Amino acid sequence: MFNCVARLGWLDRMTQFKDKAGKHKERASVGLYTYPVLQAADILVYKATHVPVGEDQKQHLELTRDIAQKFNHDFDAPAFFPLPEPLIQGPGARVMSLRDGSAKMSKSDPSDYSRINLTDDADAIAQKIRKARTDPDPLPETLEGLEGRPEAKNLVGVYAALAGMTSQQVLAEFAGQGFGAFKPRLVELAVEKLAPIGAEMRRLLADPAEIDRVLAAGAERARQVAAPTVAEVKARVGLWAG
């Protein structure tokens, strides 16, 4: 139904589609082209008002707002769908590669040392942070001093996110110290915060039946929340279930 609300011009402007399709967008699949509309449905079927997203997903949320606004207008329902706002704030909103501070941390990077996987154990987490790329200069006193130092800025941001601090607070604690002093503290913090997550994930992965049970229970709860919205949308556009 949202495919009949969204406009080609809106989808043509989607940066991620243009990046993935390259110069030959006519060879790309329709599924890739309309994927942002599916994302909009995933958000609006629950009438979400705020969505935690990375900076690179902000454009998709803007499309979601456009779809919601046009549906509300076209079907004379001014406040039926909310116009969701992005939640992009604080350290950790955009975590960069451990091997290249100018590139986003990604599971598609060929180097496993570029990222921390949530299934990594304590030893793997520690080793990756120890090998993370840095520079020879000590940490500055202010955020301005991190400009032009992408790897340093990234590791300070990671520490801040894990510790529940601001990047400025981290600098206040470590100003003047080199990475020889900073990295061991970051290793300790990352292992403390992330290793338990990895342990729980490995436990779940070893028990597929438990995963299926959790997914089924979650799907049923989601279905109960979504069903009234789907029913009313069908009624408003002139379709009827069953």
pLDDT tens digits along 35-72: 999 999 999 999 999 998 877 788 999 999 999 999 99
Say if CB 194 and CB 120 are below 8 A apart. yes
Which token pair is 217?
């229970």
Q: Tens of pLDDT along 144-199?
A: 999 999 999 999 999 999 999 999 999 999 999 999 999 999 999 999 999 999 99
Q: Which residues pair with 104 in a beta bridge?
A: 96
Does 198 or 91 have the greater pLDDT score? 198
* Mean pLDDT, residues 82-86 taken together: 94
Say if CB 178 and CB 155 are below 8 A apart. no
The domain segmentation of the chain, as residue ranges, is 2-89, 112-205
CA angle 126, 115, 198 (to 5 degrees): 60
The mean predicted confidence, pLDDT, of the chain is: 93
Say if CB 142 and CB 168 are below 8 A apart. yes
CA–CA dist 57, 66 (Å, integer) = 15
pLDDT of residue 175: 96
Categorize the per-residue pLDDT at 232 as very low, low, confident or very high, splitting at 50, 70 and 90: very high
pLDDT of residue 191: 96
pLDDT at 210 > cutoff 50: yes
Q: Tens of pLDDT along 102-137?
A: 999 999 899 999 999 988 999 999 999 999 999 999
pTM, full prediction? 0.75
Instruction: Examine domains 2-89 and 112-205 and report if their fold is the same.
Output: no
Task: Give me the percent of the chain exceeding a pLDDT of 90.
Answer: 81
Residues in the chain: 242
Which token pair is 170?
């981290």
Only one residue has tokens 């329709």, namely: 30
Say if CB 91 and CB 161 are below 8 A apart. yes
Q: State in words which class domain 2-89 has.
A: alpha beta
SS3 at position 51: strand
CA–CA dist 216, 227 (Å, integer) = 16
pLDDT of residue 140: 96
pLDDT of residue 22: 83
Only one residue has tokens 């292992």, namely: 191
CA–CA dist 93, 104 (Å, integer) = 11
Which token pair is 65?
């707002």
Q: Which fold has domain 112-205?
A: Tyrosyl-Transfer RNA Synthetase (1.10.240)
Give the active site residues.
20, 104, 107
Only one residue has tokens 């729980």, namely: 200
Categorize the per-residue pLDDT at 241 as very low, low, confident or very high, splitting at 50, 70 and 90: low
